Amino acid sequence: MPNNIHRFSPHIRFPNGKCREGMEFYKSVFGGKLDFMTVGQAPQDVIKNMPNIPKDNVMHASLDSEGFSILGADQMRDPVVKGDQVTIMVELSNQKEVDDKFAKLSVGGQVFMKPEKMFWGGYYGSLTDKYSVEWALHCRSKEEGVRRKE
């Protein structure tokens, strides 16, 4: 069976609205192309479920360079516990791969978001496995490209 994993990437949840600052810092260290999407740029049906989150908070950031990606967002759920703000993001080839690996990782764990098509064009799900490791599984769609540079 071929390995359909495209790459593993850390996903960092920044406390106190520090995503933009943190990702700019990582860009200054590692280089690469940096893109942001704010909460205010999300579709209205997504924003209505986030009434207490400032519209200028970063919903999705990506720093891409040859050989790596660092993903990030401003913290939007339970308060950050030191050491608890990194998720392993796995980019896969297709939805079936996401569903298969998600099903295996979720046994004995806790699902945060079941895999589903997302407004940015990808297919995404997140969970904590039985060892308390946070995972996010994703595949890109041909139409993906909603990310906006600011």
Q: Which CATH number covers residue 128?
A: 3.10.180.10
Of residues 93 and 51, more confidently modeled: 93
61, part of any domain: yes
In this predicted structure, what is the pLDDT of residue 81? 61
Is residue 110 within 8 A of residue 130, CB to CB? The reply is no
22, part of any domain: yes
For 102, phi and psi rounded to 5 degrees? -65, -45
Is residue 19 within 8 A of residue 74, CB to CB? The reply is yes
Which of 34-38, 71-75, 111-115 shows the lowest per-residue confidence on average (mean pLDDT)?
A: 71-75
pLDDT at 76 over 70: no
Q: Please give the C-alpha separations between residue 101 and each of 41, 73, 106, 116, in angstroms, as whole numbers.
A: 30, 23, 8, 14
Highest mean pLDDT among 37-41, 52-56, 66-70: 37-41
131, part of any domain: yes
23, part of any domain: yes
Separation between Cα atoms, residue 144 and residue 147, nearest integer Å: 8
What is the DSSP annotation of 89-132?
EEEESSHHHHHHHHHHHHTTSEEEEEEEE-TTS-EEEEEE-TTS
Q: Return all residues near 84 (Cβ < 8 A) that are at least 6 apart.
A: none
pLDDT at 95 over 90: yes
DSSP state of 22: H
* 3 state DSSP class of 80: coil
In this predicted structure, what is the pLDDT of residue 126? 93
Of residues 54 and 50, more confidently modeled: 54
Query: What range does the domain containing 24 cover?
Result: 5-139
Highest mean pLDDT among 4-18, 78-92, 102-116: 102-116
146, part of any domain: no
What digits encode the pLDDT tens for the residues 112-138?
Answer: 999 999 887 889 999 988 867 788 889
pLDDT at 150 over 50: no
144, part of any domain: no
148, part of any domain: no
Number of structural domains found in the chain: 1
- Bridge-based pairing of strands 68-74 and 86-92 is unpaired
150, part of any domain: no
Count of C-beta atoms within a 10 Å radius of residue 97: 19
